[in-house]
Structure 1
Amino acid sequence: MSEPVSFTPRPRAARRHAPNFDAENFLRELDVITHRVERVAATPVEVFSANCPEYDSACMVIIRLAAFLEREEYASYMDALSSSEKRALRTTRNIAAHSGYQSMDDQLLWTAVTRNVPDMIARLRAAASRG
């Protein structure tokens, strides 16, 4: 009987290139977020719940937008958002990422993603375009 083969991790690959944090990349990410917003908006609020895939999309909208707040290279763009919007993004992201869906108000999340986020994205696009 032969010995079972043990797991052997492969060597870590060298980083191919440093990420580029220019306005073009920022705008591309806003496009991805916008597609998620559209997916959520196509779901009636009455059926929007943690049981539907669009709920995960809504959480990713918040998580990705909040991630921009943590990047120093995007700080000038994020000045387009009010301090209360930034605080709401951080708080909602923390609930989605750490507390779980049972702590989330489904209707409030749907409204934030479909009503508030598109306006924030428009202002962020304008800020990035001005450079």
Structure 2
Amino acid sequence: MKFDRIHAPRIVRAARLDRGMSQAELSRAAGMSQPNVAAIETGTRTPSAEALTRLLQAADYRPSLAVEEHSEAIVETGARHGLRDIRVFGSIATGTDHFASDIDLLARVDSGRGYFDIAAFVNAVEELTGFAVDVIVDDERLPAFLASVLMVPAVTGPESRPARFTRVPRSSKSGADVARDNLLQSLDAINAFVVHATSGGRNELVRDSSAYASGCMAVIRAAALFEVDDFAEFLRATPDEVVNALRAMRDMASHSGYRAMNGEFLWVSLTVELPPYLALWRRAAQEAGTG
């Protein structure tokens, strides 16, 4: 996460009001003085990057607020890179997003566009919002669970302006319930990548294909689950060797590049090795919700 300090007055105040906190409550939660928080909100003091992050974390600044603020720019950026009919799903769609949440987007991609355009769009939205962004391509392999997702403003014609996205009110669920829901939504996103990667069969999982990229994203997202403290309770039954294997595969996919990934091994991981753990993690989260 990287938030622009220039916008500190606006986003700190927005986060605090969204959380229903007073300046005094926020200052106590962030370990700062109330006059310091007031000065930051009025713009008379510019916080350090560390102080801004501490304030936003204490206020549980949600990506919903950033998407709402930048919705038109998100659509305009998508149009420049051939992404249209942009929608949001996951925790933002249900009001259960929090400071550690990603922005999960579903979009149609124009013919002739490739992953350079998708990556450029992702980078631009991350710079706009300060949050990590994932994009799933809406095509014939779209998983069924994404059939009804909340619409982010879409351009319906050449003369129309995009309607503003309005955030869903913050959920009143407990922290544990929110963590469980966020894990289940993350698992849905991982499953979407797995389905996209494998639904065309082994012969389509070839280097530089969209299926191959989705398979790598499934691995990257699965490894990322173990970096979210709130998920630890639901993932604790995972053997250390599996966690280490996911991290090693994540490093190969995202750092060493696709050349380090063997297509046959990736196919086995996506169709044989990973699914039982996705089921294990989902079961742990669902059972926690009924306990």
TM over 0.5: same fold?
A: yes
Q: Which moved more, 1:62-71 or 1:40-49?
A: 40-49
Q: CA deviation digits over 1:49-102, x for unaligned, max 9?
A: 122101111111111110111111111212132212111100000000100111
Q: Which runs of 5+ in 2 are unaligned?
A: 16-60, 63-97, 100-177
Aligned to 1:99: 256
> Is the contact made by 2:180 and 2:285 (CA closer than 8 Å) also made in structure 1?
yes
How far apart are the structure 1 equivalents of 2:211 and 2:205?
7
Aligned to 2:237: 80
Q: For residue 39 of structure 1, what is the amino acid of its counterpart?
A: H
- Choose between structure 1 and 2 for higher RCO, CA contacts under 8 A separated by at least 6 residues: 1
- The Cα RMSD (Å) is 2.0
Aligned to 1:47: 204
Match of 2:276 among 107, 113, 119: 119
Matched, 1:30 2:174: no
Aligned to 2:11: 14
How far apart are the structure 2 equivalents of 1:70 and 1:81?
14
Q: Greater share of strand residues, 1 or 2?
A: 2
Percent identity of the aligned residues?
29
**Residue 51 of structure 1 aligns to a residue in which SS?**
coil
Aligned to 2:90: none
- List structure 1 runs of 4+ shifted beyond 6 angstroms: none
Greater gyration radius: 2
Match of 1:66 among 209, 223, 231: 223
Q: Which moved more, 1:95-104 or 1:46-55?
A: 46-55
Q: Greater share of helix residues, 1 or 2?
A: 1
How far apart are the structure 2 equivalents of 1:58 and 1:67?
14
**Residue 81 of structure 1 aligns to a residue in which SS?**
coil
How far apart are the structure 1 equivalents of 2:187 and 2:215?
14
How far apart are the structure 1 equivalents of 2:193 and 2:211?
8
**Residue 50 of structure 1 aligns to a residue in which SS?**
coil
Matched, 1:108 2:255: no
Q: Which runs of 5+ in 1 are unaligned?
A: 1-8
> Is the contact made by 1:40 and 1:114 (CA closer than 8 Å) also made in structure 2?
no
**Residue 227 of structure 2 aligns to a residue in which SS?**
coil
Q: CA deviation digits over 1:87-127, x for unaligned, max 9?
A: 11000000001001111111101210122221111000111
> Is the contact made by 2:194 and 2:215 (CA closer than 8 Å) also made in structure 1?
yes
**Residue 237 of structure 2 aligns to a residue in which SS?**
coil
> Is the contact made by 1:48 and 1:106 (CA closer than 8 Å) also made in structure 2?
yes
